[in-house]
Structure 1
């Protein structure tokens, strides 16, 4: 079964809108784990507009499932990850002013830089995942620099799913097969939702983990956090029909 890591950035966004500590980010992370999430993901950005660097330190003390820190590996990010030593770091090439991640690494052009980063984190026992587009060449590049995993950037799949899901999934299947062939493990994330997650999981061979934040938190406004996490987990299970059918 593919593992579900819940990205809690949006909880921090709500908290920061009013100051104080409501909602309590740490408590939400604990609740996500209690409700069945198999991991917690955070994406601290330099301006700390949602996840703050102190949040990452606080979460490290309490998260008992897999802790995944993702972000652009500037000097401050590298220092934070090496201090926290999460189970996984996901390297994402987003600009400081980006609203959200919008592209994967060019693992060929940036091979030397990525190789140094991979060595830096792996030397501390941290699994490294590189965020890439669904491009077999980028998968090969990630393998060449020694990364443990890749995370497929799935926004293009989500954007075209309604129009033609078979066409939308095709490049991701090819990229996944290349990853399987090369022996590099596979994650995925960005705009995956109750609508498109099950089909993605069924079609992608060797998928280890999905990281989902925005859609899951939006759904939780209607269905409740516990119920929503269970619905997403059912999308990743062969035991039940589609996500919304699992509502209780």
Structure 2
């Protein structure tokens, strides 16, 4: 899968992961994701370890592919108006600042290079548009989000590029993070307004040329209802799995 598609897809999964308290039972609500392992088609793996504060918010994610120079550490610092994310790898750090509105939702994202993303929500509290700007304030991209029956069903990013989602009947879990190719894009999903209530069963990406890219997802759960394994298979023959571990009260 192309990197640009993966990055957008990872953001989409951030929106898809549920954060509404009425979507999971008490057993799931009492469990926190502590570790996940991504295994790709070629057998390479990537592991992520999650650390939380006393409020149940992620404060650190440490991950990599096992090599001495592969490890990436991301920390999160929270206040009433901002979230500061610091990514550290190879001795270098990169900072992203998220600005929150009065309802605790992310409305702006800026980085040290000057790029800005603006997040727009509708009256129901769903994210409906992302406006991206370059460091010189010129428009970089615009993505619009559509929902049906409480689920994100399509993202239109212009230039004939769209992502459509199909859902099964299973409810999404508050404590579940689908990392896909980018392990740290989804930790802050609860700060992006209301999100989809069901688990995605299929993703379809369409661009101006070529055949649509399709990927289907199946899930396994433990006795508490936590999603312990995701298996993904695409129409180009690629596949991956993600195994998750939890700690419960």
TM-score, length-normalised on structure 1?
0.38
Greater helix content: 1
Q: Higher relative contact order by CA 8 Å / sep ≥ 6: 1 or 2?
A: 2
TM-score by length of structure 2 reads 0.38
